[in-house]
Amino acid sequence: MSIDTAKEAALLPALKQQDEQSFNQLVGMYYGAMIGLARSMVGDAIADEVVQEAWVSVYRALPRFEGRSSLKTWILRITANEARTRLRKESRTIAVEGLSPGGDGVLTGRFADDGHWTIPPSTWHEDSPDTLLTSTEMRDCIELTMGRLPELQQAVFVLKDLEDYGFEEICNILQISASNARVLLHRARISLFGKIEHFQDSGEC
Amino acid sequence: MLSCKQITEKSSAYVDGELSLGQRLQYRLHLMMCHHCRTFINNFNAVAVMLRRAHKAKSHDVEVKRLCQHISSLPRD
């Protein structure tokens, strides 16, 4: 049992009674994951509001939580739904991008016809992720790049690589197919890879 | 034999452990022989690690507190 699952199990009886202190603990546990997901779907400007709405829905629905998924998955699904509702209200929608060919964008043009590198990857100056991240410019650049990825790419990346979710749960939270999730994740990773490589080579974002 | 291009295309499947045993062996064989692709996969792996570090380092204490106050001000059902 993971730490989160154990904590959830301990909190659940009180949460179902809408006990405020337990609820505050729950907010502390999952706020980071929710805001990450909300930002990825609606952008920074309204993510706070989406998360606030989502927590209100969670609070009201908790007595009826049936435990068919983990509490965290359930909460993130409510967040994703809240984000979609919000986008609909503003007449914006999230396109599940078509699985168009040439999805490895930033790497296009870097291979010969036989599939060998023509512009091979550069060795990064610092190979430890910790050292790489010490530069503020690099951090800002990563955030900027993340923010510019198409919404669902960001959302899948956040859930898989930052929150350690498996594909099954990601599909449950975002209501997309597993094959779409895999393609979106790969595109997000390749785009981020390309941006960091560019930053490493040029010192510019 | 996998090409370098295919190594990049299958990189997510490789790091997520979704290749079959045979595919994985082919993948590793290519990595053993090709230093460009070794560099690629090392960098590719570092991306997620970096972003995770940056993500976990963020503190949301202020927002959490504000949100809890908002929720507690809501009328009870």
Residue B28 φ/ψ, nearest 5 degrees? -65, -35
Q: Are residues A84 and A112 in the same domain?
A: no
- What 3-state class would DSSP assign to B46? helix
Each of the 77 residues of chain B gets a pLDDT tens digit; together they read: 899 999 999 999 999 999 999 999 999 999 999 999 999 999 999 888 888 887 776 777 888 888 888 877 877 65
The answer to whether A205 touches A144, Cβ cutoff 8 Å, is: yes
Is A107 part of the contact surface with chain B (CB cutoff 8 Å)?
A: yes
Q: With respect to residue A97, please indicate whether it lies within any of the assigned structural domains.
A: no
Residue A167 in any domain: the answer is yes
**A133 within domain boundaries:** yes
Neighbours of A2 (CB within 10 A): 10
**Angle (CA) B24 B30 B34, round 5°:** 145
CB of A177 less than 8 A from some CB of B: no
Whether residues A47 and A72 fall in one domain? yes
| Cα–Cα distance measured from residue B34 to residue B48, given in angstroms and rounded to the nearest whole number | 23
The set of long-range contacts for A56-65, using a CB threshold of 8 Å and a minimum separation of 24, is: A56/B71, A56/B74, A57/A82, A59/A18, A59/A23, A59/B71, A59/B74, A60/B77, A62/A15, A62/A16, A62/A18, A62/A23, A63/A16, A63/A17, A63/A18, A65/A12, A65/A15, A65/A16
- Regarding whether A85 and A114 lie in a shared domain, the answer is no
Residues A168 and A79 in one domain: no
Chain-centroid distance of CA A141 in Å reads 17
Residue A178 contacts B, CB cutoff 8 Å = no
> Which residues 111-170 of chain A have a CB within 8 Å of chain B?
111, 114-117, 120-124, 127, 129-130, 132-133, 139, 142-143, 146, 157, 161-162
Kindly report, residue by residue over A80-128, the tens digit of the pLDDT: 999 999 988 887 766 655 444 445 578 888 999 999 999 999 888 665 6
DSSP secondary structure string, B50-77? HHHHHHHT---HHHHHHHHHHHHTSPP-
User: The CATH number of the domain where A132 resides is what?
Assistant: 1.10.10.10
CATH number, domain B4-72, options 3.40.50, 1.10.10, 1.10.3430, 2.60.40: 1.10.10
Which of A26, A107, A154, A180 should one mutate to test binding to chain B, selecting the residue with the greatest count of B CBs within 10 A? A107
* A69 and A20 fall within a common domain: yes
**Same domain for A115 and A85:** no
Please check whether residue A100 lies inside any domain of the structure. Answer: no
Residue A61 within a domain: yes
Task: Compute the Cα dihedral for B9, A173, A160, A6 and give only its sign.
Answer: negative
Hey, are the CB atoms on A197 and B43 less than 8 Å from each other?
yes
Q: Is residue A96 part of a domain?
A: no
- Shared domain check, A111 and A84: no
Domain residue ranges of chain B, discontinuous segments joined by +? 4-72
Looking at A98-163, list the stretches that DSSP marks H as alpha helix, in order from N- to C-terminal side: 129-132, 136-148, 151-157
Q: Are residues A55 and A124 in the same domain?
A: no
> Where is the domain boundary, A89, A122, A141?
A89
Interface predicted TM-score of the whole assembly (ipTM), two decimals: 0.86
Instruction: Mark whether A84 and A110 lie in a shared domain.
Output: no
Domain that holds residue A194: 105-202
First to last CA, chain A: 41
Give me the CATH number covering residue A77: 1.10.1740.10
Average pLDDT over residues A9-19: 86
**Could you say which of A65, A89, A113 is where a domain stops?**
A89
Residue A16 to chain B, least CA–CA distance (Å): 13
B33-42 residue pLDDT tens: 999 999 999 9
Q: In this structure, are A119 and A198 located in the same domain?
A: yes
Check whether residue A68 and residue A140 sit in a common domain. Answer: no
Total count of domains within chain A: 2
